[in-house]
Every structure is written in C-alpha cells, then in structure tokens.
Amino acid sequence: MLLLSLIWLVIGLLLGALACGAKLRPALWGKRGWLLMLCTGMLSALSGGWLGAWLFGSQYATLTALWIGVLCVCIFPRFFTRKARTSVQHP
C-alpha cells in the first residue's frame, strides 16, 4: 500500500499542476496559490485512493483517487471564491 500511496501522491501532484496550468486557482490565494493547489491535488488524491481501497479494493483505488482528485481540484477553489464574493459588502 505504500507504493500505491506514492502513486496517488504523484497523481495528485500532476492534477494540481494541470489545474495551475488551466488557471483554476483563485487570484485571492496570492503568490503562493500554486503551492496550495498542488497540496490540494495531493491530499485529495491520497484521501480518494484510501477511500477507494476501503470501498472497492486495491484494483479500483487508483481510478477512485483520480476522479476524487479531479473533482476536488475543480470544486475546492470555487468554494473559496464564492465565499469571498459573498463576504464582501459594498457601501
């Protein structure tokens, strides 16, 4: 499972890098936003892989890690931009 965990971390790293290249990170995160995006991809793929291993077995865990990673990398930044937009009050 250690090798699978490392594979899931690499998948998450690639997903985060692709999301940075597609400019999915919010500008609100500043200069270090790319690092947060990479960490988001890695953590979501790792947790998705472990969830997939627990639910479906090790055969489908990598596919589950990929899909959960894609969903989290696409949805997670939008949650913060919407929250920031609603919290700003205009005079």
Q: How far apart, in whole angstroms, are the C-alpha atoms of residue 1 and residue 40?
A: 21
pLDDT at 46 over 70: yes
Q: What is the DSSP secondary-structure string of 7-30?
A: HHHHHHHHHHHHHHHTT-S-GGG-
Instruction: Give me the chain's average pLDDT, please.
Output: 86
pLDDT at 14: 95
Percentage, residues of the chain above pLDDT 90 = 56
